[in-house]
Chains A and B, each alone.
Chain A
Amino acid sequence: MDGVSYQRFPKVKIRELKDEYAKFELRDTDASMANALRRVMIAEVPTIAIDLVEIEVNSSVLNDEFIAHRLGLIPLTSSRAMSMRFSRDCDACDGDGQCEYCSVEFHLRAKCMSDQTLDVTSKDLVSSDHTVQPVDVGGFENSDRGIIIVKLRRGQELKLRAIARKGIGKDHAKWSPAATVTFMYEPEIHINEEMMESLTLEEKQSFVDSSPTRVFDIDANTHQVVVVDREAYTYDDEVLKKAEAMGKPGLVEIYAKEDSFIFSVESTGAIKASELVLNAIEVLKHKLDAVTLSDDTVEADDQFGELGAHMRGG
């Protein structure tokens, strides 16, 4: 074991990057790393979400808890979240979670005066901190009004104070910044050209059509079967079964690459997708730091032996 370093240098290649969506390749690492990153993105990147609601007036059809629950699920812009304190370890307010370091206050007042139903939306939430706002869901069709909280009819009223706090998705899904975080193993597809050439055009076509997703196609000029989009392959084994059914096992070979992953990350809008990935790496580092033993824990050597030395950076 001595002197052998298992250290690897993972590479990230960004394929697509938008505010709320990112697609990137992660290479030269293994599944545990990729999965750790995924899990942290879902459950441990902090955001801000409404956590405490004080209802003054509520004459709407929904009851108090219901509204509180809906408020909690509204994503709030949380770029500040990394630097904010968890209210449980906030010194300034002794942990009651009402100070500016660990909380943001919202107010909502709505009363329907007209005969038309009034939609109370996330736009009606007034924040005490301009950096923490309900996420602007504009950009989607007819969503310029925000996320609907409740609808009021004439004479109904809703008046409340809400306190948003920092939290992580592990505690409650409302704090999870990730809408979708998923990765796939990059498939490697080998076509046995020799065997493929022995097929007629119809057979080739039916082979191509056997995949529910468009992975293969026939080159219009050469009439050769080519891989057009190997990432469209869903590991459904349909083509393999087809090849077997045609009596040509081994026509194609498909492997999953063990060290190469394609991530797609979608954020709820609370933070940007890029921030989500970066924050996740940050959080992951913090977690690893916690595991790294400090130099002065001598007794750890007895306990952990070589592992202890390794963790100390040796």
Chain B
Amino acid sequence: MGLKQEEILLSNNSINSNVGEIPIDKQKLAAPIKSALDKYQLVPEFLKVRGLVKQHLDSFNYFVNTGIKKIVCANDMIVSDVDPVFSSGLKMYAAPILVNIEYTQGSRGVKMRAEKNDLVIGRMPIMLRSCCCVLYGKDEAELARLGECPLDPGGYFIIKGTDKVMLIQEQLSKNRIIIDADKKGNINASVTSSSEATKSKTVIQMEKEKIYLLLNQFVKKIPIMVVMKAMGMESDQEVVQMLGRDPRYSALLLPSIEECAGINIYTQEQALQFLEAKLKRSMYADRASEKEGRALSILRVVFLANVPVRSDNFRPKCLYVAVMLRRMMDAILNKDAMDDKAKQVLRCHRSYLFKNSRSLRKHKRLCGEQASGAIWQLISLLFEDLFKTTITEVKRHIDTVLSKPSRSSALDPSLFLRTKEIITGGLERTLSTGNFDIKCFRMHRKGMTQVLARLSFIGTLGYMTKIQPQFEKSRKVSGPRALQPSQCYSLGVEDLELLSGEELHTPNSFLVILNGLILGKHRRPQHFAVALRKLRRAGKVGEFVSVFVNEKQLNKSVVVVYVGVRILVILKHICLRVVGMHIFWKLFDVELYLCADQLCVYIASDGGRVCRPLVIADKGISRIKEHHMKELLDGVRSFDDFLRHGLIEYLDVNEENNALIALYEGEATPDTTHIEIEPFTILGVCAGLIPYPHHNQSPRNTYQCAMGKQAMGNIAYNQLNRMDTLLYLLVHPQRPLLTTRTIELNATVAVMSYSGYDIEDAIVMNKSSLDRGFGRCIVMKRYSGVIQKYDNGASDRILRPQRTGVGSEKMQILDDDGIAAPGEIIRPDDVYINKQSPVITRGSRITSAEPLPDKVALSSDRNENPCIKILIRHTRRPEVGDKFSSRHGQKGVCGTIIQQEDFPFSERGICPDLIMDPHGFPSRMTVGKMIELLGGKAGVSCGRFHYGSAFGEPSGHADKVEAISETLIKHGFSYNGKDFLYSGSAAYALSFSLCPFLGS
């Protein structure tokens, strides 16, 4: 259990059996016998580079290093209303969060500047193993010295003594146009905009043929033409032109134009007035808006917040609206066409998407627009909220002070900052309860964090890689157990930062869209995409940049919109000279994709897109050759080198649609653009433990994923030093005979019906096996007591135990200090701590059989009260009613425990450890389990671990059934794994041949 995944993965390296190679072309035929390359070693390398919880760590690091500063920078001025001269600027450092403040105050024209550095405004909980953590960058020995388990993945917080994981949230990508239909069948185009300063959701809806804008700040829906006019696009013709020449588009727009004319709005002035009337009344209007009208400022700031407005140039926004309209109209016009269009690019998991595509949602949208919300986004939202609250609070204080007529001393704003515990408390409360309640973004969500259960190492890892979906309600169709295929194959969810690409339309040219911003147009999109990909492969552009070409055309106006300056420059380069350009900086992770039905090139580089590495293939021939792998094995080449040299690249879900990915090298055709590294990477941590999952009925695998987390085993190297509230350890954990990665126990299993105690999935267990330690576990439970101080000055105290007299028999386990001594056997009603409270004398007591204190720790709680923690250890052996499970979702309780002499035995003297009912098999269809049992049996008889990785047979990472049967025959067993057993109680031959297998 405790083995690190990579190590186990590495152990699989030993078997490199050759794959039946299908000759593809002459070149291959002519080549000397070359087995399909075993690219397997790349997986552990990849994990080394990215790690399984890397997304958490990167995310947090990003927040700490960049996000937090941005937030502070975006809110860095406190301007007092009372005395406008007074302002202070803040600067951000890491945690404990320090700010530099600089304030100016002036009286009668004289300005004074003052500075204060490193002011603590709050404390940030630190994610373990992040760049702020003390454990960061430590090697195994150093970690061991610190008492930490080197295998612990980190990536969680410790809040009030419990481990908390923030779940990865699945959410719609920000700043992307999403076309959808509501319940009434009205078509929506919505954009969830997010910039550092503002977050908003803009919806454009078609209702009764007219198009409206829905925005929270307006009371009613606004005709879209009014909005266009308010933004300065007064000419209807211009709007129509922006949509494209095709008369169908203008026809669709006509009702809206008529409506606008119907309410007599022709100029910007009129439009703004109209909007002004529809505004929601808000309590405070800020001054800027008072001058020029709030409507305009809302259009500028809130409406499509992701499109920046520089110097009152609303044109980009108009263009963006045009793109949205056009997209909507396309959806209306091609309702039927859309379903056909979805090319089946990725064979493996398209089918599910088809089912869902009944709605207008395009397939690609469905997976494409979803991104996993990285935790930094959440934390930064939270922090932003808290920070703003703090700022408001400080401002209020300053105002109060400043408004006093007589001020004796100069004002020191640092005082106000220092006293506020808003940030510390808020962060801690939110992370520990998991209830995100962010006022300024109207975000109320529950269960965002979960306690990291330490029941098993796999469970822990499983928590870290869990993704919380957000669409459960709206997607009843799929059912809770359906897999979301866009997440398949995501070896470690990648967390990307920042930008994302978007689109614009022109006739015969493609919009180039970066992260939701229209950059410009390009006439040869494929060329462009190829060029950008080349750059990416050459390492000039970030490795996570995705290019997705959407081949269709829209408008004509060539527009260049400013985005992140750096990217713009690059794109200019690309547009100008496709090949041979030099770029000096490395972008953030950018993904570029061309979108077929929208005539767009999407470039995405924003965070939270799920990316996965694939081997690049040129005309179906893998770029990775044998010498590369050899170099990898020799340690000369690292995973990063593979990336850098353009052998492997990351693709996100959108770009995958532009790719043709072969599962195995042998299956590649000349059209293939990429080859899978290893097919089993489709599975996550928990599913990866199931041997032969591809032989099982799929719900069984799903069950097992849930149950794998309940398994017992070893949780960490430092498990005995931990003070968890509850901890289960297995006394004799084992490595499975049939390896995929790890799990705990091997058992000799007979699949047979015996004694009637095994109906309904129950299990009959062998008492002697239990005597010998099978399934034995240690339960650790923590009790704690605090020595409380009271308001009246009294406090609890701990007394020496009474050695004689009444009550002394309850105090036998206590040491002279009044606290239980480690190693003493506790009887029911024994006192652990002899504590006297001012009013009553108390001791904690429990009533179960023969546990004993393992450890006593003294510490102090947050209020500096001394605190005593006692860890109670209790060894348990399996009993009737305990739950056991194999790795195939076949759980069962122990039905009875039977003496060994009564247990069936074979003439070789094999006596099973447990008996399962064969009736559990037909209905569950867990063929994988049968194979596991066979493989396990073969494993014991030949003394070699067998392998059962998913989809591994063709590549040699799983043993084939034929091979297993041969091994069995060689060792004198029947090829089908069945053995002949005699009844232990009556020695009659149990009539049917039975199968004592080995498995776990």
For B972, give its contact among A61, A169, A212, A235 (CB under 8 Å).
A212
Contact B899 A43 (CB under 8 A): yes
- B91: min CB distance to chain A, Å: 49
Chain B residue with minimal CB distance to A30? B987
Whether, in the assembled complex, B973 has its beta carbon less than 8 Å from a beta carbon of chain A, the answer is: yes
Q: Is the CB of A185 closer than 8 A to any CB of chain B?
A: yes
Is A119 an interface residue when CB atoms closer than 8 A count as contact? no
Q: A43-B900, A238-B974 are in contact. Are A63 and B873 (CB under 8 A)?
A: yes
> Is there an interface contact between A32 and B989, defined as CB atoms closer than 8 Å?
no
Q: Does chain B have a CB within 8 A of A170?
A: yes
Q: Separation in Å of the B961 CB from the closest CB of chain A?
A: 16
Chain B, range 738-770, C-beta contacts under 8 Å to A: 767-769
Q: Say whether, besides A39-B901, A43-B901, A173-B772, A234 and B980 are in contact (CB < 8 Å).
A: yes
Q: Are B875 and A182 in contact (CB under 8 A)?
A: no
Contact B778 A234 (CB under 8 A): no
A236 and B854 form a contact (CB under 8 A): no
| A31 at interface by CB-CB < 8 Å | yes
Residues of B within 8 A of A236 (CB): 974, 978, 980, 993
Nearest CB in chain B to that of A262: its residue: B907
Is B979 an interface residue when CB atoms closer than 8 A count as contact? yes
Report if B480 contacts A (CB, 8 A).
no
Q: Which residues of A contact B852 (CB under 8 A)?
A: 64
Shortest Cβ distance from B976 into A: residue:
A236
The verdict on A273 contacting chain B, using a C-beta distance below 8 Å, is: no
A280 to chain B, nearest CB (A): 12
Q: Which of A65-73, A107-115, A123-131, A291-299 participates in binding chain B?
A: A65-73
Q: Which among B776, B900, B905, B984 is the interface contact of A176 at CB below 8 angstroms?
A: B900
Task: Kindly identify, within residues 958 to 1000 of chain B, every residue whose CB is under 8 Å from any CB belonging to chain A.
Answer: 968-969, 972-975, 978-980, 982, 984-989, 993
Q: Interface residue count for B (Cβ, 8 Å)?
A: 41
Q: Does A224 count as interface, using CB distance less than 8 angstroms?
A: no
Complex: chain A residue closest to B720, CB-CB:
A61
Cβ of A42 under 8 Å from chain B: yes
Task: Name the residue of chain A whose CB is nearest to the CB of B979.
Answer: A234
Residues of A within 8 A of B776 (CB): 69
Decide: A173 and B900 in contact? CB cutoff 8 A: yes
Q: Which of B768, B905, B969 contacts A173 (CB 8 A)?
A: B768
Most chain B CB within 10 A, of A170, A185, A212, is at A212
Contact B974 A212 (CB under 8 A): yes
Q: Which residue of chain A has its CB nearest to the CB of B980?
A: A235
A42 touching B986 by the CB < 8 A rule?
A: no
Cβ A63 vs Cβ B854 within 8 A: yes
User: With A and B bound together, what is the CA distance between A173 and B968 in angstroms?
Assistant: 30
The total of chain A residues at the interface (CB under 8 A) is: 40
Asked if residues A234 and B905 are in contact (CB atoms below 8 Å), the reply is no
B582 interfacial contact with A, CB 8 Å: no
* Cα separation A58 to B974 with both chains bound (whole Å): 48
| Contact B773 A169, beta carbon cutoff 8 Å | no
A69 near B731 with CB under 8 A, answer: yes
Given known pairs A43-B901, A65-B875, the reply for A182 and B908 (CB within 8 Å) is yes
State in angstroms the CA–CA spacing of A237 and B980 once bound together. 10
Contact of A181 with B by CB under 8 A: yes
B906: A residues at CB distance < 8 A: 182
| Cβ distance B351 to chain A, nearest Cβ, rounded Å | 41
Q: Mark interface residues in A229-253 (1 if CB within 8 Å of B CB, else 0).
A: 0001011111000000000000000
Set of chain A residues within 8 Å of B968, measured between Cβ atoms: 212
Q: How far is the CA of A180 from the CA of B986 in the complex (A)?
A: 18
Task: Check A205 for interface membership: any CB of B closer than 8 A.
Answer: no
- Once the chains bind, are A234 and B909 in contact (CB under 8 Å)? no
In the complex the two chains form, is B771's CB within 8 Å of A234's CB? no
Q: Which of A34, A66, A183, A238 contacts B907 (CB 8 A)?
A: A183
Beta-carbon contact of B907 and A173 below 8 Å: no
Q: What's the Cα separation between A176 and B543 when bound, in Å?
A: 64
Minimum CB–CB distance from A311 to chain B (whole Å) comes to 22
Q: Does A55 contact B (CB under 8 A)?
A: yes
Give B888-907 as 1s and 0s: 1 = Cβ < 8 Å from A's Cβ atoms.
00000000000111100111
Judge whether B823 is part of the interface by a CB distance below 8 angstroms. yes
Name the distance in Å between A302's Cβ and chain B's nearest Cβ: 31
**A264 contacts B by Cβ under 8 Å:** yes
Within 8 Å of chain B (Cβ to Cβ): is A204? Answer: no
- Check if A213 is an interface residue, CB within 8 A of chain B: yes
Question: Does A172 have its Cβ within 8 Å of any Cβ on chain B?
Answer: yes
The B851-895 residues at the A interface (CB cut-off 8 A) are: 852, 854, 873, 875
Pair A185/B989 contact, Cβ less than 8 Å: yes
Is A184 an interface residue when CB atoms closer than 8 A count as contact? yes
User: Which A residues from 181 to 220 make CB contacts under 8 A with B?
Assistant: 181-185, 212-213
**Is A83 at the interface (CB under 8 A from chain B)?**
no
Flag if A234 contacts B773 (CB, 8 Å).
Answer: no
Verify A42–B901 contact, CB threshold 8 A. yes
Bound Cα distance from A170 to B900, whole angstroms: 8
A237 to B975, CA, bound (A): 12
Assuming the contacts A31-B988, A172-B771, asked whether A212 and B909 have C-beta atoms less than 8 A apart, the reply is no
A38 at the interface (CB under 8 A from B): yes
Q: Please tell me if the beta carbons of B875 and A66 are within 8 angstroms of each other in the complex.
A: yes
Whether A184 contacts B731 in the complex (CB less than 8 A), given A43-B899, A236-B974, comes out as no
B980 neighbours in A (Cβ, 8 Å):
234-236
**Residue A174 at the chain B interface, CB threshold 8 Å:** yes
A35 within 8 A of B: yes
Contacts of B987 in A (CB 8 A): 31-32, 34-35, 38, 183
Q: A181 to B982: give the CA distance in the assembly, Å.
A: 12
New A-B pairs, 9, CB < 8 Å, besides A63-B778, A232-B972, A237-B993: A35-B986, A42-B901, A63-B873, A173-B771, A185-B989, A212-B974, A212-B975, A234-B974, A235-B989
A-B contact pairs, 22 of them (CB 8 A): A31-B986, A32-B986, A35-B987, A63-B778, A64-B852, A69-B773, A73-B773, A169-B900, A172-B771, A174-B771, A174-B772, A176-B768, A180-B909, A181-B909, A182-B907, A212-B968, A212-B972, A234-B972, A236-B974, A236-B993, A256-B989, A266-B909
The 6 closest A-B pairs by CB, nearest first: A173-B771, A35-B987, A180-B909, A173-B768, A184-B907, A182-B909
